[in-house]
Chain A
Amino acid sequence: MSEDDILVVENLTKNFDVGRGQMVRAVDDVSFSVKRGETLGLVGESGCGKSTTARLILRLIEATSGSVMFEEQDLLKLPTNEMRRLRRRAQIVFQDPYASLNPRMTVRDIIGEGPLVWGMKANLDDRVAEVMTRVGLNPDWAKRYPHEFSGGQRQRIGIARALALDPTLIICDEPVSALDVSVQAQILNLLTDLQDELDLTLIFIAHDLSVVRHISDRVAVMYLGRIAELGTRDEVYERPSHPYTRALLSAVPIPDPVTERNRARTMLEGDPPSPLNPPSGCRFHPRCPIAQQVCSEVEPVLGSEAVGHPVACHFAEAIPQV
């Protein structure tokens, strides 16, 4: 664990028992670290295990194996009461601002619940007003209920709730994917500002590669429960070295008709396979445009030797950069 690292995830694995003796490896041997003050983007298509990874880190579900070092302690080994204490420092913002706020609680109670649990009864209203102001909500609205707010405002409530306990780490699980683009921009700008002001560390989970590029310092690309590629924003977006990363990036439409219609596109065949029965060897090999015999037999390890940043591909160095 280097000094800058606030969180180090090692060999994190989660098997879900889906009955009939079958197991889904939702997250399979995932390792990464997050530096203090940075934003790590976790990106991938549905079912790749990105949200499960978030929940495992905070122990909202229990991991099968692995370790999560946060503030010099392995979260996965902590007894419940100590885990609770650490959750003050690591918070989460959920995707759906409609489902993640209790409709029967006022905004004050939603935001104030954390501080209240931690005995900050005195000045609670001041604290609530302070975080509401910080996320751009009028503190006079504290007595209102979630249904009285728009989607963007609700997401601000979710962020205010996460901020109420002064966390150092916030995991944002698809925080803008339910929002319209103009409102999405408001929330992304807010997160950027909060991070600067409060020296926050963010793990930003999203399927939208444009949003992840905008907000992240480093990016991990996941495919079927594993990390396919991990690097700085420029490494991943300017020099993508896993064939999956490249295909993913080339599939994202660019809002410019001239660029969009003249770009070379790597079209992937088919859908991501079921994690119930992942392909042998490299999990991407059935859809990979450059797969060889070895890819179906040997699982590649995530290594930096080929291109300077970690890529899990047998032929990472062989792909010419475009």
Chain B
Amino acid sequence: MSLDTANRKVVLSVKDLHTDIKTENGVVHAVDGVSFDLHNNEVLAIVGESGCGKSVTALSMLKLLPKRVSKITQGSVMLGDLDLTKVSDRGMRKIRGKRIAMIFQDALTGLNPVHRVGDQIAEMILIHEDVTKRQAHQQAIRLLDQVGIPNASERADRYVHEFSGGMRQRAMIALAMALEPEVLIADEPTTALDVTVQAQVLEVLLEVKERIGSSIILITHDLGVVAGMADRVLVMYAGRIIEEQSANGLYHNPMHPYAWGLLNAMPRVDEVLSDHLASIPGAPPSLIEPPKGCRFASRCPMAEPVCEEVYPEVIRVARSSVACHFADRPDWGRALWNAEVMS
């Protein structure tokens, strides 16, 4: 189901984005030169492990990071002709919700606990559109109904703590999609849910996306969820994109050793591959003073001296890209595996 993105319109374009975060120990270069395009009506996944910068990328795009401790130091986020990094706070309020909306992992962060769920959705509609209170409320009920909340007219008057985990995520989808934004950023939208409920929520998300024709940036650590949802995938490691491919390409022919390791470290529910999983030794580097060479070099069983010295240039092949000095070596997957088993 890989989409032909070549002929699709670019709705959002991120170029060379850098975000710094101040901490007690120094400045963390959390996002360090990230560039990608989001095409019309596609699902683009950003995957990576904790601390790789995937959430900070999303929050930077919406300018939701606290100014006191964080700063976009370089780069642009183009939504149409508009560079979001240059838009004022006031201006961003008109864009958030209306043109780009976000769903969070934890609905208790995304929804206000002291307002009725329906009122919160109605409020957003009222702010952005010329409707009466009554119309806004009716619309909120319709939206809740569309995301599969049973008894929506009665549930709209409830508070978020009265909703189950799955219902909360549905309500957050209803809120995010209320104004039919061009872009929806979903940050770990199902991570806190049980697997049967996760399946329901993902289905609702795709359904709503098709109905209003928006594009989704799906941020997750779960490669299974990505396989079912994404058209294209960006793999992030230590603040940078190390590989970009169609979902099919990535899963069947990963180019970066880290991507390979990640895919083979996951046990599968449909088959038992081996007694031992591929595991990646060690941990990601500190982003306060990141290594000058390839950031994965210290964990990579294929690394050679050049990897420690020089950050690999991003190689683009058709619509894929990879940042590895040895991405063209056909035998490295096996090498990585053997190194792991023997260690």
Please indicate the chain B residues that have their CB under 8 angstroms from the CB of A237 in the complex. Answer: 269
Would A210 and B267 count as touching, CB distance under 8 A?
A: yes
CB distance from A175 to the nearest CB of B (A): 14
A interface, over-half SS: helix
Total A-B Cβ pairs within 8 A: 128
> Given A213-B268, A251-B199, A268-B196, is A180 in contact with B50 using a C-beta cutoff of 8 Å?
yes
Q: Does any Cβ of B come within 8 Å of A307's Cβ?
A: no
Please indicate the chain B residues that have their CB under 8 angstroms from the CB of A252 in the complex. Answer: 195, 224, 269
Which of A15-23, A78-86, A185-193 lies at the interface? Answer: A185-193
Q: Does any Cβ of B come within 8 Å of A126's Cβ?
A: no
Please indicate the chain B residues that have their CB under 8 angstroms from the CB of A259 in the complex. Answer: 227, 270
Range for the number of chain B residues in contact with chain A: 35 or more
Please indicate the chain B residues that have their CB under 8 angstroms from the CB of A255 in the complex. Answer: 223-224, 226-227, 251, 263, 266, 268
Please indicate the chain A residues that have their CB under 8 angstroms from the CB of B279 in the complex. Answer: 182-183, 185-186, 189
Would A256 and B196 count as touching, CB distance under 8 A?
A: no
Cβ proximity bits B186-203 to A, threshold 8 Å, 1 near / 0 not: 000000001111111001
Would A150 and B283 count as touching, CB distance under 8 A?
A: yes
Would B276 and A271 count as touching, CB distance under 8 A?
A: no
Please indicate the chain B residues that have their CB under 8 angstroms from the CB of A272 in the complex. Answer: 194, 196
Residue of chain B at shortest CB distance from A251: B199
Would B49 and A251 count as touching, CB distance under 8 A?
A: no
Q: Give A81 to B226 CA distance when docked, in angstroms.
A: 51
Would B248 and A258 count as touching, CB distance under 8 A?
A: yes
Q: Which of A180, A254, A257 is most buried by chain B, counting CB atoms within 10 A of its CB?
A: A257
Would A254 and B269 count as touching, CB distance under 8 A?
A: yes
Please indicate the chain B residues that have their CB under 8 angstroms from the CB of A308 in the complex. Answer: none
Q: Give A148 to B156 CA distance when docked, in angstroms.
A: 47
Please indicate the chain B residues that have their CB under 8 angstroms from the CB of A261 in the complex. Answer: 1, 227-228
CB distance from A296 to the nearest CB of B (A): 19
Would B267 and A265 count as touching, CB distance under 8 A?
A: no
Would B1 and A213 count as touching, CB distance under 8 A?
A: no
Q: Give A251 to B202 CA distance when docked, in angstroms.
A: 11
> Given A257-B251, A259-B270, is A209 in contact with B195 using a C-beta cutoff of 8 Å?
yes
Q: Give A163 to B44 CA distance when docked, in angstroms.
A: 44
| Other-chain residue from B227, B262, B272, B281 in contact with A254 (beta carbon distance below 8 A) | B227
Q: Does any Cβ of A come within 8 Å of B21's Cβ?
A: no
Q: Give A254 to B252 CA distance when docked, in angstroms.
A: 13
Range for the number of chain A residues in contact with chain B: 35 or more
Q: Does any Cβ of A come within 8 Å of B97's Cβ?
A: no
Please indicate the chain B residues that have their CB under 8 angstroms from the CB of A46 in the complex. Answer: 194
Would A256 and B200 count as touching, CB distance under 8 A?
A: no
Would B269 and A249 count as touching, CB distance under 8 A?
A: yes
Please indicate the chain B residues that have their CB under 8 angstroms from the CB of A150 in the complex. Answer: 283
Residues of B274-309 contacting chain A, CB below 8 A: 275-281, 283
> Given A180-B50, A180-B221, is A185 in contact with B265 using a C-beta cutoff of 8 Å?
yes
Would B194 and A45 count as touching, CB distance under 8 A?
A: yes
Q: Which of A207, A215, A252, A255 is most buried by chain B, counting CB atoms within 10 A of its CB?
A: A255
CB distance from B265 to the nearest CB of A (A): 4
Would B283 and A257 count as touching, CB distance under 8 A?
A: no
> Given A180-B50, A188-B277, A214-B267, is A256 in contact with B251 using a C-beta cutoff of 8 Å?
yes
CB distance from A122 to the nearest CB of B (A): 34
Q: Give A45 to B196 CA distance when docked, in angstroms.
A: 8
CB distance from B70 to the nearest CB of A (A): 23
CB distance from A201 to the nearest CB of B (A): 17
Would A251 and B165 count as touching, CB distance under 8 A?
A: no
Would A210 and B194 count as touching, CB distance under 8 A?
A: no
Would A210 and B199 count as touching, CB distance under 8 A?
A: no
CB distance from A229 to the nearest CB of B (A): 15
Q: Give A269 to B199 CA distance when docked, in angstroms.
A: 10
Q: Give A180 to B262 CA distance when docked, in angstroms.
A: 10
Residues of A259-292 contacting chain B, CB below 8 A: 259-261, 265, 267-269, 271-272
| Other-chain residue from A185, A189, A209, A268 in contact with B269 (beta carbon distance below 8 A) | A209
Q: Does any Cβ of A come within 8 Å of B164's Cβ?
A: yes
Would A248 and B266 count as touching, CB distance under 8 A?
A: no
Name B residues whose Cβ lies closer than 8 Å to a Cβ of A: 1, 49-50, 164-167, 194-200, 203, 221-228, 230, 247-248, 251-252, 261-263, 265-270, 272, 275-281, 283
A-B pairs with beta carbons under 8 Å apart, 22 shown? A150-B283, A182-B280, A183-B49, A185-B266, A185-B267, A186-B279, A188-B277, A192-B275, A210-B224, A210-B267, A213-B268, A213-B272, A215-B267, A248-B196, A254-B227, A254-B268, A255-B227, A257-B230, A259-B227, A260-B224, A261-B227, A271-B197
